Every structure is written in structure tokens, then in C-alpha cells.
Amino acid sequence: MDNNTQNATVPKTKKPKKQSRFREVWKRYKRSPLAIAGLFIISCIILLALSAPFIAPSVDGMPGYNLQDWGNVRQFPSSEHIFGTDHLGRDVFSRIAHGAGISLRVGIVVITIGITFGITLGSIAGFYGGYIDNVFMRIIDIFLAIPNILLAIAIVAALEPGLTPVMIAVGIGAIPIYARTVRAQVLTYREQEFVEAARAAGASDFRIIVRHILPNCMAPVIVEASMGMAGAILAAAGLSFIGLGIEPPLPEWGAMLSEGRIWMLAGYWHLTVFPGLMIALIIFALNMIGDGLRDALDPKLRSGFSKRHFERLKVQAAQKIQEQSQATTVTKEGVA
Amino acid sequence: MDEKATNLLDVKELSIQFFLEEGTVHAVNNLSFSLKPGETIGIVGETGAGKTTTALGIMRLVQSPPGMIVSGSIEFEGQNLLDISEPEMRKVRGNKISMIFQDPMTSLNPVIPVIDQIAEVIMLHNEGTAKDAILKAEQMLEKVGIRIERAREYPHQFSGGMRQRVVIAIALACNPALLIADEPTSALDVTIQAQVLELMKDLKVEFNTSMIMITHDLGIVADICDKVAIMYAGNVVELADKYQLFRNPQHPYTIGLFNSIPDIKKDEETLKPIKGLMPDPTNLPSGCPFHPRCESAMPRCFEIVPQMVEVSQGHYVKCLRCTEGSAQNNKNEGGA
């Protein structure tokens, strides 16, 4: 085994090697081309959102997504308007660029609400169990019993239409999933010996939960979050589509889809196709990232075994053997 | 037991019970022993004899509910551990009393680099910056013979023996007065066992730590302990100096334990196991708990619960037959 006993006296020149967990996960993540594609698409969308103020800057106080041009309504895609213009003569591409930021913001805020409350509730319920667990989980069950979109509609209707109520509504709907995921994870980890060991080292309950149990539970939560972000964006788009989402001039993709749908039968396909395509793209990308993360974070694959890599090595080894045998036959012939 | 003042640990009449729906489990019954600074006591017994429960009881980590310390006292450095509050107890755990768990594979947190796990216990019990703690942790790693380059690696990158070294480093990081080792080598293979035991012995001398070594391996007892307590069904049935016990075992159970070790010189065909099984702890037999399996049981053993009796200097036995015989011996000696 270890010859460290002798090495302990050897002078140390090397600094402790920092082998980060992140790098390890990345190594496994990048094996999946689809996951990389997802990451690429999301990067493009983030870039689009960041560059929206430059693509379509505001003119005379009028925001870039609402520059109306009544002389050029419902134009098909051309070199001037690559995605065409809508029924008020606004450039669809500009609106989509501005909408990217809204969609991303919705996704991030919803996930933050869901994760914060979900982790808190789930970890307390899972760790203490018994009475607390029962009370918390029955509340969560009540939320789960109502379909997510219905719950969101009810909350938005109770508040008022707008971006913030939509985010709150969808965020509340997202809490139960995280609470359940975290609770299940905490239940498996709280019985582990390292928790007992932490307790034996004098750690408090809070410390045990935050430092010892939760980091172990994060893998499924991260996966759930990237998938859940897609769901949240879709839900927000859906709410906007039925008119409960954002206020009209704001270029939310769902709202754009809704506005464009009356023109669809009249042949103006670009008003619905582009926002729809964007929604599909971002959801596809987030799901692919979620899939990739799930595989990368799976502890069972921790050994870092890649079938493709293994096959490649096998082929290389076979080639080497062949070359060597050829080389030996050559030398033999040479000797002969 | 007259030098109470010098005893580091004084466990008196400790009883731990688990209240389950199926009945009350009498895990530990009226257990008493004491330990001087620097001394090592071995607690030996079969699976289910209550060894681990005793250890957890001393740490006050018996899971409650369903477990409970029903009576007795645990005096540590002149203070009854059962009287102090939970926050005070947390300051004792890991600092004054620390524990090594059986399985090094599960007693380390898989997502925290080992150096941080050692530093954590230092941070918990000492004032000072994280940097100081890391420095101290590096020293500890070196002491247990792990190269400093590996400090930032995760537990899954270590072998079993090295993980147990890390666990030992964590346990000794705060220089505890008492170390409880719960079968520290059972999960390791024999060569690594020897290394780890050697390391523990060295560090015990270096830090002048008292130790409670829980094991079922009499070889380890012979190697590392000063005195031995043999446990059976939650009772200490024999407590003696190591040499006295190995030379002159008194209790039929202890004799049975020695007989079940194969002797290479005698060339035996079959081992001599103790017949029967450990009694059900929810339903302990009347009288002496060992009488159903005892070959030399007398009718009185069925009725009378034997008391701990000192058969010779520092050698205590809980057996009616032994105490009768030795009482006579003592009289004879006294007469002579």
C-alpha cells in the first residue's frame, strides 16, 4: 500500500495539489456532445441578451423593443429585418434579443426562489424527521396536489399580471420539487457514518446540515435546477401566452407568440415561428445541460470511465502491437 | 478503585436502554469501569454485547429516541457528563473526547478534501484563523504518515488504510484526553491493521491519550491495551489487568472466548465455539445472563444476578461460581 511513512520525512517541495471537483465534473461533462451543444446554445442566448441594448438601442426614450414603424408592418424576413417585423412594424429580432434577457431572468429568479425555500424546508424536514417532517411535507403535498400552471394562474390572478408576480407564482410552484428532492437526499445521508463522526467531533446540527449533508445532496438539485429552469421559462411563456404574464410592450417570447398567433392563419408565419423556435431552443438546451450534468455528477461514474475513450485506447494499443510485430519481422528479415 | 481523584474517566452503574415498540432493549446494564490518564482499556465482546452503545453513551450520542441513558454517571475529569448541557457537551466532543469509527470508508465526508475535514475539528474547538487550522491539519497529516501533496484530495482517492489514518488525524487533532476507538481495524486487512495499530500506539504515547479500544479481537487487546473489560449482553462480566486476564481468565465466558481461538501448536481438528447465541436483549434471561450457555452453571445462577466481585487485586468478575472459589482462596491467603 502506502509508502508514505517513509515519505513523511522527505522535504516537501511541491505545494498541495489542488484537484478541484469542478474540473473532474467538467471532464466528464464534455464527453457528451449534446450537453456541449446545450451549453453552446445557452451561451449564445446569454450573449444575445447581453448585446440586446446594442442590437436595438433605445431611441428618444423609446425602448429598443418597442420602436414602431407603421409604414413597415408584418414584413417578411429580409436583409434589413432578418426575422421580419410584427403588426406594429417592430423588428422581431430586436424584440427576441430583448426577450432573451427576460426569459433568462425569469428562469434564474424562479430557480432561486425554488431552491432557497426548497432546500431550507427539505433539509429541516429530512434532518429532524418526525413531527416537523410531517407538518412540512403535508404543506408541500398540498402544493403538489395542485397542477403547477393552475397554481401559478391562481397566484397571478390574485396578485396582478406582470413580470414579478409571474416569477413569484412560478417560483412558489417550483418549491415542492426541490423540497422533496432535498428531503430524500438528506434522509439517506443523515444516517451515514460521517454525520455521526461530525457529531462526535462536536459539530452542531446547523453545521452538520449545511457543511456535511447539503454538499452531498447538491448533485440531484443541480440537475433538477437546470431542467426546472426550462420548465419555469415554459410556464412563464405559457402565462404570458394566456395574457396573465407580462405587460404588452415587453417582448416576452410567450407574449410574442400570443400576439403573433392571430396573424398565423393569414400567412405571417415569422411572427410565431421565431419566438416559438427560441422557446424550443432554450428549453432543449437547458434539458441537454441537465442531462449532461446528471451523467457528470453521477457518483457511479466517478471512476471516469468513458467507453469511447476506452475504444480509442484499444485501437491504439492494437496498432502499436501491429507496428511492433512488423518492426520485429523487419529486423528478423534484416538479420536473415 | 480507591484512587478516584486520579481517574480520567469513571463510568458508574451506566444503563442504556432502547424503548422500541417490540419491547425495551437492555443494551447496557449497570456497567462500571474507570480509566487513568494514559491508560488503555479494551472492551471485548460479541456483536450486540453493547460495546458500541457504551462508547456512544460516553459521547452522549445514543440516538434518542429510542435510546436513553436510564441511570448511572459518567465522570470525566471530575465532571459528570450526564449533567452538562448539550452545547457544553459539544465542546467536549472532538476536543476532550474523540472517537474513531469502525469503517473508514463511510466515516469521512466524500465531498470535502481531507485536509479541510481535519481543519474543521480544529476550527470548531480552537480560536484562530482558518490558515492556522490548515497548518495544524497539515502537521497532523504528516504525523499519521500521509504526504502533504495529497492533502487536497478527496476520501475516494485514498485507500482504506490511508482513510483510517485520516480519521485518526481528525480524532487526535485537538489533542484529546480520551480516544474511543470503535473497532478501528475491523474493516482493514491484516497488514494494514498492524500499521494502523502501530500508529495508534505511537500517537497514544506521544499525546499521552487514554484510550478505550472496542474490539472483538483478543490479539489487538494483547497488543495495545493495559486492561480489559469483557462484555456480555450489556454487562461487564470480567474486568482485569491484561496480564491477569490472559494468564488467569475466571469467567466461563472469557474462558470460552479464549477456547474459540485456534491454537496452532495443538493441531486441533475443530474449534471449540461457545455454544448457543447471545440472548435477546429485549428478553434477558433471569439471574446471570450467561447461564443458558454456561457449561458450569449451577441452579443458583438461574435466580441470582451475580455482582462484581474482586477476586484478586484489580481483577473483577461477575460470576457466582468464580467468586465463591476465590473468596475461599482469599481467606486462605489472608490466613497464611
pLDDT tens-digit readout, A95-130: 888 888 888 888 899 999 999 999 999 999 989 888
Reduced to 3 states, what is the DSSP secondary structure of residue A328? helix
Residue B158 is predicted with a pLDDT of: 87
pLDDT at B25 over 80: yes
pLDDT at B14 over 80: yes
Of B103, B124, B151, the CB nearest to A202: B124
> What's the half-sphere exposure (Cβ side, CA atoms, 13 Å) at B84?
19
Residue from B236, B331, B247 nearest B44 by CA: B236
Give the H/E segment covering residue A323.
Answer: helix A307-335
Residue from B318, B312, B317 nearest B330 by CA: B312
Cα–Cα dist A291/A227, whole Å: 8
Of chain A, the percentage scoring pLDDT greater than 90 comes to 6
Residue B325 is predicted with a pLDDT of: 54
Residue B149 is predicted with a pLDDT of: 85
Where is average pLDDT lowest: A95-104, A237-246, B56-65, B238-247?
A: A237-246
pLDDT at B332 over 50: no
Cα–Cα dist A227/B315, whole Å: 67
**Residue A314: exposure state from Cβ atoms within 10 A (0-12, 13-18, ≥19):** exposed
Test mutation, A20, A21, A25, A193, chain B, max B CBs within 10 A: A193
pLDDT at A300 over 80: no
Q: Mean pLDDT across chain A, nearest whole number?
A: 80
Give the mean pLDDT of B118-139. Answer: 87
| Max intra-chain CA distance, chain A | 95
Q: Within an 8 Å CB–CB cutoff, is residue B60 touching chain A?
A: no
Cα–Cα dist B65/A206, whole Å: 20
Give the mean pLDDT of A262-288. Answer: 83
Give the H/E segment covering residue B247.
Answer: helix B242-247
Residue B268 DSSP code: -
> Highest-confidence range of A148-157, A265-274, B234-243, by mean pLDDT?
B234-243
Q: Within an 8 Å CB–CB cutoff, is residue A194 touching chain B?
A: yes
Residue B269 is predicted with a pLDDT of: 67
Local confidence band at A31 (pLDDT 50, 70, 90 cut-offs): confident
- Higher per-residue confidence, B69 vs B333: B69
A18 vs B111: CB contact, 8 Å cut-off? no
* d(CA A151, nearest CA chain B) in Å: 37
Cα–Cα dist B249/B237, whole Å: 11
B148, B90 Cβ separation under 8 angstroms = no
Give the mean pLDDT of A27-34. Answer: 83
Residue A117 is predicted with a pLDDT of: 92
Of A10, A21, A201, the CB nearest to B170: A201
pLDDT at A211 over 50: yes
Of A8, A197, A216, the CB nearest to B142: A8
Give the mean pLDDT of A8-29. Answer: 60
A2 vs B124: CB contact, 8 Å cut-off? no
Q: Within an 8 Å CB–CB cutoff, is residue A303 touching chain B?
A: no
Cα–Cα dist B227/B241, whole Å: 4
Residue B4 is predicted with a pLDDT of: 47
Of chain B, the percentage scoring pLDDT greater than 70 comes to 93
Locate B114 and state its grid cell. Answer: 481531507
Reduced to 3 states, what is the DSSP secondary structure of residue B146? coil
Of A4, A201, A204, the CB nearest to B145: A4
CA-only gyration radius of chain A, Å: 27
**Considering only alpha carbons, which residue of chain B is nearest residue A10?**
B147
- Whole-angstrom CA distances from B180 to A31, B137, B225 are 46, 20, 13
Local confidence band at A66 (pLDDT 50, 70, 90 cut-offs): confident
- AA letter at B202: D
Where is average pLDDT lowest: A238-242, B160-164, B250-254?
A: A238-242
* d(CA A302, nearest CA chain B) in Å: 9
* d(CA B330, nearest CA chain A) in Å: 44
* d(CA A182, nearest CA chain B) in Å: 16
Cα B163 off chain centre by: 21
* d(CA B150, nearest CA chain A) in Å: 6
Cα–Cα dist A328/B303, whole Å: 87
Q: Within an 8 Å CB–CB cutoff, is residue A304 touching chain B?
A: no
**Considering only alpha carbons, which residue of chain B is nearest residue A218?**
B111
**Considering only alpha carbons, which residue of chain B is nearest residue A14?**
B149
| Max intra-chain CA distance, chain B | 68
Of B94, B148, B191, the CB nearest to A200: B94
Local confidence band at A299 (pLDDT 50, 70, 90 cut-offs): low
A228, A114 Cβ separation under 8 angstroms = yes
Report pTM: 0.75
Residue from B4, B169, B117 nearest A211 by CA: B117
Residue from B283, B296, B229 nearest B23 by CA: B283
Residue A15 is predicted with a pLDDT of: 46
* d(CA A204, nearest CA chain B) in Å: 7
How many Cβ atoms from other residues are within 10 Å of residue B88's Cβ? Answer: 11
pLDDT at A332 over 70: no
Beta bridge partners of residue B241, listed in sequence order: B227
**Considering only alpha carbons, which residue of chain B is nearest residue A200?**
B93
A298 interaction partners in chain B (CB closer than 8 Å): none
pLDDT at A3 over 50: no
Cα–Cα dist A303/A305, whole Å: 6
Q: Within an 8 Å CB–CB cutoff, is residue A8 touching chain B?
A: yes
**Considering only alpha carbons, which residue of chain A is nearest residue B110?**
A216
B107 vs A16: CB contact, 8 Å cut-off? no
Local confidence band at B3 (pLDDT 50, 70, 90 cut-offs): very low
pLDDT tens digits for B88-104? 888 888 888 999 888 88
pLDDT tens digits for B256-287? 888 887 777 776 667 777 777 788 878 888 88
B145 vs A196: CB contact, 8 Å cut-off? no
Locate B17 and state its grid cell. Answer: 436502554
Of B120, B121, B192, the CB nearest to A1: B192
Give the H/E segment covering residue A36.
Answer: helix A33-55
Q: Within an 8 Å CB–CB cutoff, is residue A131 touching chain B?
A: no
* d(CA B94, nearest CA chain A) in Å: 4
Local confidence band at B328 (pLDDT 50, 70, 90 cut-offs): very low
Residue B248 CB partners (closer than 8 Å, separation 6+) = B315
Locate B113 and state its grid cell. Answer: 478534501
A86, A94 Cβ separation under 8 angstroms = no
* d(CA A3, nearest CA chain B) in Å: 9
How many Cβ atoms from other residues are within 10 Å of residue A312's Cβ? Answer: 11
Reduced to 3 states, what is the DSSP secondary structure of residue B324? helix
Locate B278 and state its grid cell. Answer: 447471545
Q: How many CB pairs under 8 A join A and B?
A: 110
How many Cβ atoms from other residues are within 10 Å of residue A143's Cβ? Answer: 16
Q: Within an 8 Å CB–CB cutoff, is residue A13 touching chain B?
A: no
Residue from B153, B147, B145, B224 nearest B184 by CA: B224
Residue from A97, A118, A1, A119 nearest A50 by CA: A97
Give the mean pLDDT of B111-139. Answer: 87
Residue A72 is predicted with a pLDDT of: 73
pLDDT at B329 over 50: no
**Considering only alpha carbons, which residue of chain A is nearest residue B158?**
A2
Separation of first and last alpha carbons in chain A: 48
